[in-house]
């Protein structure tokens, strides 16, 4: 196994519809009841989005350094539906798909599942900005990677 294989193994995998990442629920993710604390789901969703980028060959540090303007992704809006709780030791699957990628915006749909059971459904609007916090267009080459992975 090469270093690249290991990185992609840790980063989940691209699927026909987007990205799939499996994460275990640890004690640190839970509250006194043994259920995942609601804010920890943001961490799982962020890991899914970050590893989706990585599997697409888009390193965030490279995007920032790609040109004088730099390219940064920031969460602009997030809608989360909490359907069912996760518990310690659950194996969760974080699924991420692209709904829109272009202009200065991306929209991603995410789910967290335990087996076939939907626990969390989220829609995330991502603003594309430069290193100075001003909107910038998503390069077509990057937008194509997101759109091709979700077809």
**DSSP codes of every residue in 61-83:** HHHHHSSSS--EEEEEEEEEEE-
2 located within any domain: no
Upper half-sphere CA count for residue 151 (Cβ side, 13 Å): 7
pLDDT in tens, 14-60: 999 999 999 999 999 999 999 999 999 999 999 999 999 999 998 88
Q: What is the CA radius of gyration of the chain?
A: 16
SS3 88: coil
Residue 19 forms part of a structural domain: yes
Q: Using 50, 70 and 90 to split pLDDT, how confident is the model at 112?
A: very high
Encode pLDDT of 50-83 as tens digits: 999 999 998 888 888 888 888 999 999 999 999 9
CB atoms within 10 A of CB 118: 14
* Catalytic annotation, pick one of 31, 62, 81, 89: 31
Please indicate whether residue 89 is annotated as part of the active site: no
Question: Is the residue at 8 inside a domain?
Answer: no
What pLDDT digit, counting tens, does each position of 118-147 carry? 999 999 999 999 999 999 999 998 999 999
CATH code for the domain in which residue 36 is found = 3.10.129.10
The whole-number pLDDT of residue 8 equals 55
pLDDT given for residue 4 in this prediction: 56
Q: Is residue 3 part of a domain?
A: no
With respect to residue 1, please indicate whether it lies within any of the assigned structural domains.
no
Helices and strands in the chain, H and E counts: 4, 6
Q: Give residue 93's pLDDT.
A: 98
Q: Which pTM value belongs to this model? A: 0.90
For residue 5, pLDDT over 80 is answered with no
Q: How many domains does the chain have?
A: 1
| Residue 2 pLDDT | 54
45 assigned to some structural domain: yes
Q: Which domain holds residue 77?
A: 13-149
Confidence of residue 13 (pLDDT cuts 50, 70, 90): very high
Residue 3 pLDDT exceeds 90? no
In a domain, 126, yes or no: yes
């Amino acid at each position: 196994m090469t270093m690249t294989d290991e990185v992609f193994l840790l980063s989940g995998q691209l699927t026909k519809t987007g990205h799939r990442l499996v994460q275990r629920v640890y004690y640190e993710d839970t509250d006194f009841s043994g259920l995942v604390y609601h804010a920890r789901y943001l961490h799982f969703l962020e890991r899914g989005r970050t590893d989706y980028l990585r599997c697409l060959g888009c390193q965030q540090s490279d995007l920032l350094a790609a040109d004088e303007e730099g390219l940064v992704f920031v969460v602009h809006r997030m809608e989360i539906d909490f359907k069912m709780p996760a518990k310690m030791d659950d194996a969760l699957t974080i699924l991420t798909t692209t709904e829109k990628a272009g202009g200065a915006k991306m929209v991603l749909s995410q789910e967290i599942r335990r087996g076939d059971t939907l626990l969390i459904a989220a829609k995330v609007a991502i603003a594309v900005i430069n290193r100075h916090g001003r909107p910038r267009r998503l390069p077509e080459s990057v937008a194509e990677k997101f759109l091709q992975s979700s077809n």
